[in-house]
């Protein structure tokens, strides 16, 4: 029995270098597939393009399979490559879970924390929170990125995705924690409304253009509600379209149309006179801001602590206070 145990230990030691290399290469394969190519994966991870390509090729040679069909025109993952990619995700999640156990046991936030959120939300709030959080917890290495792609896909690549939505989120394997509800209103430049008859009825805005958020829109349709609960739909032609909330604000200031903005984002512009509230008696549905993270992986202590910081700061912004941002 002792001889067998010794033999098994010797075999493990003998195979360990190759096993560790395979694990590393599987993790690199995950990065390449999720990024959609070697160059994008290199930019995201900071690993040189040549090194990443060489390591994935080494994985193919070691296992005797082709995982990626690649040439100058296309990038395609093979069937076996897709299976190995799925196994690589499991390895990465297991590693994250192991690190989280150790970090939580230390009772102090530590390790890497990857957060993604829209650019406007990052500029308004999350960047400030992240900087203060980094100063408070020097053992946390924080990565703050602006969002690209669907929030569900992002939540597989980041620890936390801050995601605003005006509708209930669909069922998925992603945990959605509500942080705050942000009120919205309609805004336009004073010059755009100059010379028009003053009225608080939606029909008075007929003929004006709007600023849209969806490239497929030729018209905006906003559902408005007055204090008595009466609802009306306001439909306006779209003149300018962007998916960047900060660009929406700038377009409104320039007089390109009426738009929907968070009241917190519009408040400084109203104070300086570059924007004014349109139909102030009427309200729009608020935007709910969520924190998304994968249900398969327990949120680390650093992630939990960050959300504890972010929630009151978001609420302070919505309430027009900057106390939580200091």
What pLDDT, in 10s, does the model give residues 101-129? 766 666 788 888 999 888 888 887 788 88
The listed range with the strongest mean pLDDT (77-91, 117-131, 306-320) is: 77-91
Q: Between 60 and 72, where is the model more confident?
A: 60
Q: How many angstroms separate the CA atoms of 142 and 48, rounded?
A: 21
Q: How many angstroms separate the CA atoms of 32 and 26, rounded?
A: 10
Q: Between 120 and 289, where is the model more confident?
A: 289
Describe the crossing of helices 49-63 and 38-45 by its angle, rounded to 10 degrees.
120
Please give the backbone phi and psi of residue 59, each rounded to the nearest 5 degrees, phi first. Answer: -65, -45
Question: Are 223 and 233 spatial neighbours (Cβ–Cβ below 8 Å)?
Answer: yes
Question: What does the pLDDT read at residue 4?
Answer: 43
Return mean pLDDT, the chain.
82
């Amino acid at each position: 029995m002792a001889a067998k145990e010794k033999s098994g230990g010797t075999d493990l030691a003998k195979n360990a270098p190759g096993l560790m290399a395979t694990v590393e290469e599987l993790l690199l394969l995950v990065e390449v597939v999720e990024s959609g190519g070697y160059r994008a994966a290199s930019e995201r991870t900071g690993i040189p393009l040549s090194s990443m390509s060489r390591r994935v090729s080494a994985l193919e040679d070691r296992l005797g399979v082709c995982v990626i069909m690649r040439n100058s025109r296309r990038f395609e993952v093979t069937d076996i490559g897709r299976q190995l990619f799925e196994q690589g995700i499991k390895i990465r999640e297991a590693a994250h879970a192991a690190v989280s156990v150790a970090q939580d046991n230390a009772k102090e936030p530590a390790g890497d924390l990857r957060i993604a959120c829209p650019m406007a939300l990052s500029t308004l709030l999350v960047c400030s929170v992240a900087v203060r959080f980094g100063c408070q917890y020097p053992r946390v290495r924080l990565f703050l990125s602006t969002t690209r792609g669907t929030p569900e896909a992002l939540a597989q690549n980041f620890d936390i995705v801050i995601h605003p939505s005006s509708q209930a989120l669909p069922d998925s394997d992603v945990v959605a924690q509500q942080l705050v509800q942000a009120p919205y209103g309609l805004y336009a430049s004073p010059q755009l409304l100059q010379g028009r008859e003053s009225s608080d009825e939606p029909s008075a805005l007929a003929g004006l253009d709007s600023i849209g958020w969806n490239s497929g829109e030729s018209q905006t349709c906003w559902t408005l509600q007055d204090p008595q609960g009466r609802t009306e739909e306001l439909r306006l032609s779209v003149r300018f379209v962007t998916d960047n909330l900060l660009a929406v604000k700038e377009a409104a200031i320039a007089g390109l149309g009426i738009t929907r903005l968070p009241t917190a984002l519009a408040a400084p512009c109203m104070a300086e006179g570059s924007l004014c509230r349109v139909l102030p008696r009427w309200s729009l549905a608020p935007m709910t801001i969520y924190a998304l993270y994968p249900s398969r992986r327990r949120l680390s202590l650093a992630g939990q602590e960050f959300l504890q910081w972010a929630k009151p700061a978001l609420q302070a912004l919505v309430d027009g206070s900057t106390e939580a941002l200091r």
